[in-house]
Each structure stands twice: as C-alpha cells, then as structure tokens.
C-alpha cells in the first residue's frame, strides 16, 4: 500500500510516495546470529590476509602523499555507523591540508554544487590539482578512482575496530542521512554495519545522484545517460539518444544485482592480486620495452565503455612509437571485414611486442581498468570512439571486458554483424557459469596460441 511522506529538499517540502513492504522490513531486521558470526569470521581472516599483502603498498602510498603534500598521510572522517553511532573511518588523504575549510578553498559556485551532493566532479582541493579539469588526472583524483584511498579501512576499521564489514551499506555522512533519507530508510540503513563495498559500489559509486528517479547527465554525442533507482535491484543505467529517442534493444537486459556484485568483487580481487604479485614482472617488461624501442612502455588509449562513457585503457606498448603515422599507409591492407584495423603480420609491431601479444602479457596492465571499474574480466570488446560510432549503442549496456566470445572466435573472418551477434549472445547469457567457461576457454587458447 502506497503511503505519502514528506521530506525537505532545498528548503522546500516535497511529497514522495513510499511503498510499505512488511516482508522486506522483516528481512532487514531479522536476527541472524549464525550468519553474523561467519560474516565476522570472514571479515577477520580476509582483512588479515589483505593487510599482510598490502603492508608494503600502504607504506609506499603514505610516503608519496607526504612528498606531494607534506603532512599526515591519513585522514579520519566521521560517518554514521551501525545503530547511528559515530563511525571514524581511516582513509589516505587525497586532498590538500585544510580541505575542510570549504569557504576558503572553493568558489561560491563550487560550494553550492558541493552542498547538493557532498562531492565535486572537479574538486580543486585534491592533491596535485593545478588547473580546471585536473580532478580526474591529478594524484588525489587517481587514488580516489582506484579506491586506493579506502585501503587503510581494511586493517583499521574491519580488522582492528570491527565497526565495518567487507560487504555492507555505504558509510554515510550525518548530513546526507538526515537530508536525503526518510526515517524508515534511515532505520533500515543503520540496522547493519557499513561496508567497504556493496551494491552502492557496483551500481552507483562514481556518478550516483540523490534526486528521486535517478540522475541525468549528457554525453558529448548527445546521448542522455539516465540512472534510475529501484528499491529491489538498486541502480541501473539507461541510454537515451536525444535525437533518435531510446534505441531498440537487440536483446533484453535483465537486472542481475547479485551477479553484478559477485562479478565486481571478483574483478577487484583479481586486479589486486595481479598488481601486487605481478609488480616485479611488470617492471621487467617495461624495462625490456624501453630497451627494444625507446619511449613510454605503456600504451594508453581512449575506448568506449558502458553507456558510451569514454575511459582510458592501459596496455604495454607492443608497437613502434610512430605506429599511428605508419597506419595511414597500411589501411588498404586491413584484413578485417570490420570497423577496426588489424594485419596478421603488422610491420608496426616490435620484436618484444610480438612476444607480449602471443602470450597476452600486453593486456596485463588492464588490471588497473578492472580496479577502477571501467572494465571487467568478461564482457564485450571495448572499441575506439571512431569504431563504436559505426555500431549500435545498445551493445554498451554492460561493461566491456578483457575477453569474451569475440576473443575465442576467428574475428578476422567475421563481419560487423557477426561480431555484434557475439556481443548480444553474451549479454543474453551472462552469468557466473558463463564467465567461468569463457575464462577457462581464454586461458586454454592463450597456451595454445602460436602466432600474434
């Protein structure tokens, strides 16, 4: 039964419709002592293991922060914990000293924007910020995007204090709680420990909006990215073309919140393991690339991700530094009947590059993309914007991946339509079982591969 409730927003009372679901409240408040025991045990063992692995990276990040902006590398912020108790979370400091003095560090326009959602898309308080637009590329912005600033919560809040869990609701500011949540929502939110990750991280961490009905933002090509919230499944994104209306879907995209959460957690675990255990190997590969062809050992390229959002994909450089200039003369030799260029014996590929491609080691730095959430392990191929412009936008309804059906097929002999069908096939069939099958087949093909 729908019941009207009134909340205050921007100084005005607004009526909203809240649907009573007694069975949901019972699920929220039901005591589960056995579950809570095993959950705490898992938190202790997992956070202890992670703390041991991360001790060296934590020290390194602390030193870098003190070098870039002298002062305490850690920052304690008070949020609201279980039962409404004050929760002091420990984070790496991503902002310059005195960042809490909003009136001194923000313009009136920026201050007004901050008060709406308690965050800024381009925050001048971040460490390393020099000019407009640096918010995502400066040091402070980078450690936020990679969630590095959250790492101290593992040993401090989860392991030692036990006032947070690995999985749970987002730890929220007191002013956010009182301004944007009804009393019933507050009671439900504070009935469990907040977590390091949860549905909020899988769906809406970077660009969630508080407005009822979801948030809107326009992309460069005129598409409107509409983020809608449903109480039963969380946030979901819809792409609408401002010129053509909503594009017809080639296949039904069913919300799978539990699967999406498991998939995101798996991505993070794999990325952390790769970046910590594989660091010595990455350094060796980078040095060998520089020796073979002097220049940046990494190749960073803009690709099109979920909902048309542009992201920077990171790979080891396998081609000569002037590869883009050479490509102009090679376009007539393109062996793909598709939107992208590829040659079986590409003269732009270095000797080291051929080995890296044959072993797929050139793809390993994409662990950074997994960590930031711009890519996943299994998903459709991420194209260049010029390539994606020639393809329908409904293939962008899920995150692009490192591997999928397209990598297991002979894409050289495929048309655009055949490759699209592989994308739609995965979107329809995506599940934990499907992902594990594709990962297994990809690993198998890597060991069997004899050419690049």
* Measured CA distances, 195 to 26, 97, 153, 165, 216 (Å): 21, 27, 10, 5, 27
User: Please, which residues have CB within 8 angstroms of residue 337's CB and are 6 or more apart in sequence?
Assistant: 413, 414, 415, 416
Cα–Cα distance list, 222 to 117, 207, 225, 241, 392 (Å): 24, 18, 10, 7, 15
Q: Residue 369 gets which letter from DSSP?
A: H
Report pLDDT for 79. 93
Taking a C-beta distance cutoff of 8 angstroms, is the pair 404, 379 a contact?
yes
pLDDT of residue 68: 92
CA angle 420, 423, 425 (to 5 degrees): 110
Q: Is the pTM of this model over 0.95?
A: no
Residue ranges of the domains in the chain?
A: 2-197, 205-247, 260-448
pLDDT at 276: 87
> Which tokens sit at 42?
């898992």
Asked whether the beta carbons of 320 and 379 are under 8 A apart, the reply is no
Task: Show the tokens assigned to 398.
Answer: 């899920």
Q: φ, ψ for residue 298 (rounded to 5)?
A: -105, 150
Distance of CA 191 to the CA centre of its chain: 27
> How far apart are alpha carbons 412 and 148 in whole angstroms?
39
SS (H, E, C) 322-355: CHHHHHHHHHHHCCCCCCCCCCCCCCCECHHHHH
- pLDDT on residue 207: 40
Taking the mean position of all CA atoms in its chain, how far away is CA 361?
A: 22
Instruction: Going from the first residue of the chain to its last (452 residues), give the mean pLDDT of each consecutive group of 10, the final group possibly shorter.
Output: 44 44 45 86 91 89 92 92 92 88 82 76 88 86 86 94 91 84 84 84 46 36 41 42 43 74 88 88 93 91 90 92 74 58 76 89 92 91 86 85 82 69 86 90 73 42
């Amino acid at each position: 039964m729908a019941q009207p409730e009134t909340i205050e927003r921007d100084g005005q009372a607004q009526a909203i419709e809240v649907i009573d679901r007694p069975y949901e409240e019972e699920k929220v408040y039901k005591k589960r002592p056995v579950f809570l025991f095993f959950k705490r045990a898992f938190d202790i063992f997992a956070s202890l293991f992670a703390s041991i692995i991360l001790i060296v990276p934590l020290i390194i990040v602390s030193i870098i922060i003190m070098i870039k902006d002298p002062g305490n590398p850690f920052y304690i912020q008070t949020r609201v914990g279980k039962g409404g108790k004050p929760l002091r979370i420990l984070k790496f400091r991503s902002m310059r000293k005195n960042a809490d003095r909003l009136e001194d560090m923000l313009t009136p326009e920026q201050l007004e924007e901050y008060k709406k959602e308690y965050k800024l898309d381009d925050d001048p308080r971040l460490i390393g910020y020099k000019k407009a637009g640096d918010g995502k590329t400066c040091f402070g912005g980078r450690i936020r995007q990679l969630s590095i600033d959250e790492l101290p919560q593992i040993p401090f809040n989860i392991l030692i204090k036990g006032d947070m869990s690995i999985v749970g609701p987002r730890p929220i500011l007191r002013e956010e709680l009182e301004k944007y949540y009804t009393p019933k929502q507050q009671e439900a939110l504070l009935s469990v420990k907040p977590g390091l990750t949860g549905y909020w991280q899988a769906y809406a961490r970077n660009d969630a909006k508080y407005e009822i009905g979801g948030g809107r933002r326009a992309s460069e090509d005129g598409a409107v990215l509409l983020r809608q919230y449903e109480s039963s499944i969380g946030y979901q994104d819809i792409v609408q073309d401002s010129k053509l209306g909503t594009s017809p879907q080639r296949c039904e995209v069913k919300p799978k919140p539990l699967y999406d959460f498991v998939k995101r957690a798996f991505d993070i675990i794999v990325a952390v393991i790769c970046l910590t255990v594989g660091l010595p190997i990455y350094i060796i590969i980078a040095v060998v690339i520089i020796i073979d062809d002097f220049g940046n050992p990494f190749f960073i390229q803009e690709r099109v991700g979920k909902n048309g959002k542009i992201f920077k994909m990171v790979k080891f450089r396998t081609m000569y530094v002037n590869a883009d200039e050479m490509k102009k003369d090679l376009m007539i030799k393109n062996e793909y009947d598709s939107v992208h260029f590829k040659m079986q014996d590409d003269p732009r590929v270095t000797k080291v590059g051929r080995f890296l491609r044959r072993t797929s080691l050139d793809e390993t730095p994409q662990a950074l993309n997994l960590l930031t959430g711009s890519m996943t392990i299994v998903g459709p191929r991420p194209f260049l914007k010029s390539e994606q412009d020639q393809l329908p936008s409904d293939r962008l309804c899920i995150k692009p991946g490192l591997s999928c059906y397209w990598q297991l097929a002979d894409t050289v002999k495929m048309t655009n339509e055949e490759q699209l069908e592989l994308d739609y096939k995965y979107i329809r069939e995506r599940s934990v079982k499907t992902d594990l099958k594709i990962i297994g087949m990809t690993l198998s093909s890597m060991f069997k591969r004899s050419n690049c």
